[in-house]
Amino acid sequence: MEPSLVTGLYGEVSGLPAPVSAQVSEEQLPEVRTFTVTAEWSQSDLVRGSRLRYSQQWTLIADSNHNKSIRTVLPPRPCALVAGELVSAISPIRGQRAVVRETSGHQLLEIWNHHGLRKCLNLTALKKHGKVYEDVQFGCLSWSECEKKLLYVAEKNKNTHDGESACRKDRSVYCEDWGEALNNKSVPVIFVLNLQNGSVSELQGVPPDVSPGQALWAPGSQSVVFVGWYHEPFRLGLRFCSNRRSAIFKLDLDGNCECVSGSDLSVSCPRLSPDGSTIVYLQGRVFGPHNQCLSLQQLDLRSRKSSTLLEVVNRPLTGEFAGVYEALPPCCWSADSQRVVFSSARRNWKDLYMVDRQSHKVTSLSDSLPDLSKVFGSWKLLTVQKDLMVVCCSSPNTPPTLRVGFLPSAGEAVTWQTLQQPVMTFDLHWTVLDVTPPPEEDNTQYSGLDFGAVLVKPTRRLHETKIPLVVFIHGGPHSQFPAEWNSTTAGLAQLGFAVLMVNYRGSTGFGQDSILSLIGNIGTQDVKDVQRAVLTALQSDITLDPKRLAVIGGSHGGFLACHLVGQYPEFYRACAARNPVINAATLLGTSDIVDWRYSSVGLQYSYDQIPTAEALAAMLEKSPITHAAQIKAPVLLMLGGKDRRVSPHQGLELYKALKSRASPVRLLWFPEDGHSLSRVDTQADCFLNTVLWLHQHL
């Protein structure tokens, strides 16, 4: 447990690269077809204190007939560092690459082809707009069919039409933005760049109460399709929230705009079919759970009519498809425009699926092995182009692995090939637990729900002693710990701890009923679920030490960690919480997702809500601060000074409550970090301090 060795181990597990995106191109030769797969990877570097991105290319040789089998994979080309790229897109015909790049404080738009850099425009110097959006919520870069125009979203110039005196008067006026991780993103505008004359123009006609994003050209490139988020009466946080009122709009170049999806819904991820006839998109409810099971809709562009391709799944059958819970990849269509491919949570797994538009039948495309025999617990689709799928597979002991396979014909299985094995695998044992609450912990409104957990532990024990157990709880609360590579879990297990990652009721992958069951029951149902999972793990595995238990988590996971050491003060020996919710009542006025503060305790939300004594009492009653006086376990708090979702003053509230009672508490403050504590140096610091805290107190 020497600090330099702990940091060295963390550098090793967190520095393993993961593929984040992929592109496929195809060439038909007389005897064979060749496919070029270009993958972009992300890799943390503790020396730089930053994440690097690099690209790598593979050439696949397939049979020229249409039986879709890969004959040979040629050795990959060397990795090439990708510097400063914000967004990029490949043109549909000639394969030109458009890139928006940040360099020396300027944003440049570059066009590359086989002869090198063909065009470069300094967007900053043109002064037509503010920063180009590169985030997953709004960001986009789309080529027109003729390859003469590009579409993107950027921040509207401030005071564009005002005189100097007005600028002076208004320079201190408050400007709303879209919350956590979207600071300074306030008024997105769609721009069209004409590559022939270099002109940049704003697309007129977007409704004034709508913020546009995720824009793409409609067939013929005479109109644009985009997602519009309603921002009146004020903006609510958008990141990790699939419940914001929004719609799909179609806007022509003359400024005529129409809404082509339903009203009072939440939509995202419009994806155009290769034949140009249909757009699929995700749809959910407004307000309520901030993340939810979504339906998959298909919009016929000729008739302007939408229909449901996949319904919300309320109660999945055992082993069956459990619904859609996450964004579609940029390319998700089969070449014949008849099938849509996507990844989604299923219980404690992440699986790969294909849905047929005619039959609406859903097929799993990951390994056809039974769950307990699976090598990979997580299959994430990066892209499918020319019917070739590129996926990232991993499990708790196997870091991200790049694999490819062709979409199968009816009744056939996919033949998967690995392009890039991880540098190393780890000698760790993992297993998936299914947990059924006892009758007294059943939810009467949504009865019969169960949940799960993933247990990871060292294969070899030191000195034949029992293994200390760290209970790791995800945030959200509507998210998931799939059986995938997690550098924190792997690092802890390498250091001799067992780790139990709990998917309590309310986690994604168990159906919409499970998500809804948590509404109004935070601080009780979820706390009991985690405790039940721990008891189940201790009963099923005699190598775990029931006297050496600790609990860690971030956000709602931190909320639960602090609840557990307060509600079960004799059970846990240590706690480490990142940006935890401590007092939901005092959080109400400072969070960017004020609606969730009401929904989580079972209250309806409306924009004009004024807090009542009853509402504040309900929030306080469900908060860990009410159990602070019972806490005996030493508590480590890690707080981001720029957290917009859960104010760092939440953690400070518990810190002061514990200090005043002389309870052991340590607080780490990261002034430049936000809710996710995602900076590379912050993550290394948090891991080191957590490990030393656990070692000291276990």
Helix (H) or strand (E) holding 1: none
662 backbone φψ class: left, alpha, beta (φ>0; ψ -120 to 50) = left
DSSP 466: P
Q: CA-to-CA distance for 394 and 422, rounded, in angstroms? A: 9
Q: How many CB atoms lie within 10 A of CB 199?
A: 12
In three state form, how does the secondary structure of 610-672 look?
Answer: CCCHHHHHHHHHCCHHHHHHHCCCCEEEEEECCCCCCCHHHHHHHHHHHHCCCCCEEEEEECC
Q: What's the alpha-carbon Rg for the chain, to the nearest Å?
A: 25
CA distances 340 to 272, 280, 370, Å, are 11, 9, 24
Helix (H) or strand (E) holding 526: helix 525-540
Question: What is the secondary structure of 543-597 as a DSSP string?
Answer: TEEEEEEEEEEETHHHHHHHHHHHHSTTT-SEEEEES----HHHHTTT-S-HHHH
Q: Name the amino acid, one letter, at 542.
A: I
Peptide bond connecting 17 to the previous residue in cis, omega within 30 degrees of 0: no
Whole-angstrom distance between the N-terminal and C-terminal Cα of the chain? 13
Task: Look at residues 30, 24, 26 and name the one whose alpha carbon lies nearest to residue 64.
Answer: 30
- Strand, coil or helix: what is 17? coil
- Give catalytic residue positions: 555, 643, 675
Q: CA-to-CA distance for 141 and 247, rounded, in angstroms? A: 20
Task: Quote the tokens at residue 232.
Answer: 């009146």
Q: Phi and psi dihedrals of 321, rounded to 5?
A: -50, 135
CB 221 within 8 A of CB 145: yes
Q: Which residues, at least 6 apart from 456, have a Cβ–Cβ distance to it below 8 Å?
A: 396, 397, 428, 429, 430, 489, 490, 493, 498, 499, 500, 501
Question: What is the secondary structure of 121-155 as a DSSP string?
Answer: EEHHHHTSSSPBP-STTT--EEE-TTSSEEEEEEE
Q: CA-to-CA distance for 103 and 118, rounded, in angstroms? A: 18
Q: Name the amino acid, one letter, at 139.
A: G
